[in-house]
Structure 1
Amino acid sequence: MATDSKLQQEIKKRTPFHSPEQEAYLNLMRTSDLLQNQMGRFFREYGLTASQYNVLRILRGEGQPLPSLEIAERMIQVVPAITGLIDRLEKQGLVERRRCENDRRVVFVEITPQAIKLLAKIDKPLEDMHKHMLGHLNRGELKQLSSLLEKARTLDGG
């Protein structure tokens, strides 16, 4: 008789999973939920959401204003309403908007000095949080995990 998987025990599932794909998917969802909850609590301490942090990280990394749609394309998590997200950041004084002079439909978003200071406060604690959440995996395991997750995102098996 096969022993129950760790996930099967965690969720108290009485019967085996229908397939290895189902088990892997549910493992991925459970892990994602755990990590997102921890990160959500972390960012709330700084008055941000994970998506707001992501916008600021993109802008700081680029080093220059970007169009809203470019920011949306670079987001880790798809955000249906990038405009609302940027509105909230603007209200907090963390970004400023400017219309493109050549094409008034394009809105550039620029990070503020206040946001750069906030990110500087977040950098080290965030690095520590990543180590806390994944530091029990060695370098090879982390590379393998990243590779497998990238492969899973292809969705076409290629």
Structure 2
Amino acid sequence: MTGSRLQRELKKREPFDLLEQEVNLNVLRTSDLLHNRFGRFFREYGLTTSQYNVLRILRGEGRPLPCLEIGERMVQIVPAITGLIDRLEKQDLVCRRRCEEDRRVVYVEITPTAKKLLKRIDKPLLKLHEQLSGGLTRAELKEVNRLMEKIRSGIEENDPE
């Protein structure tokens, strides 16, 4: 079978109808592979990728944040941020407190237990990022970043919401 690598991987007999179609499917397939690999990595530490993302946000901010703000900063959008925070709280990785001025607002704070866990994860995670970059040069990595940002900008500009 001739054709692109993606066409062969998908065992697609005919070429793609559009180059844009092939590019989008390539991005989705790559994203799925990355998501699965990161998922396996974080499971070794008793976390999901979304839970790690919450902890990363809280540690990086250095102060408690409202649930809604955490949701806005997530790499992958999570529809049920409250459930995610519930699970982290049960693991003693975050704690919650209500805002005194506005009781509707709930602040989430990272715990010392979570900070220790993140410290254990940091170096192996950086190594994984390097491994998963596919041996790209720095210039190629910058170009991939630029192109992904350009795709997202186009999506955001054309989003009817």
TM-score, normalisation: structure 1 = 0.96
Please name the residue that 1:102 is paired with: 101
**Which residue of the partner structure matches residue 74 of structure 2?**
75
* Deviation larger for 46-55 or 4-13: 4-13
Q: Is the 8 A contact 1:151 1:157 kept in 2?
A: no
Residue in 1 that maps onto 2:56: 57
AA partner of residue 133 (structure 1): L
- 1:155 to partner: Cα distance: 2.5
Distance of 1:119 and 1:157 partners within structure 2: 32
Counterpart for residue 133 of structure 1: 132
Aligned alpha-carbon RMSD (Å): 1.2
2:36 partner letter: N
Does the C-alpha gap of structure 1 residues 147 and 15 become closer, same or farther in structure 2, counting only changes over 3 Å? Answer: same
Name the structure 2 match of 1:17: 16
Deviations 1:4-29 (A, max 9, x none): 01111111110000001100011001
SS of the residue corresponding to residue 96 of structure 2 reads strand
CA apart distance, 1:135: 5.0
Give the alignment's TM-score, normalised by structure 2. Answer: 0.94
Question: Could you say what secondary structure the match of 2:146 adopts?
Answer: helix
> Where does structure 1 lack aligned partners over 5 or more consecutive residues?
none
Within-5 A mapping of 1:143-154: 143-154=142-153
Matches within 5 A, 1:80-99: 80-99=79-98
- Cα separation, partners in 2 of 1:148 and 1:135, compared to 1, 3 Å: same
Name the residue aligned to 1:31: 30
Distance in 1 separating the partners of 2:156 and 2:116: 43
Corresponding residue pairs, total? 156
Any unmatched runs of 5+ in structure 2? none
Q: Distance in 2 between matches of 1:77 and 1:110?
A: 20
Q: Distance in 2 between matches of 1:76 and 1:157?
A: 15
1:46 is aligned to 2:45? yes
Q: For residue 141 of structure 1, what is the amino acid of its counterpart?
A: E
Residue type of the alignment partner of 1:94: L
Q: Distance in 2 between matches of 1:37 and 1:83?
A: 23
Whole-Å Cα distance in 2 between the matches of residues 20 and 152 of structure 1? Answer: 14
**CA distance 1:70–1:138, change in 2 (3 Å):** same
Q: Structure 2 vs 1, CA of residues 156 and 70 (structure 1 numbering), >3 Å: closer, same or farther?
A: closer
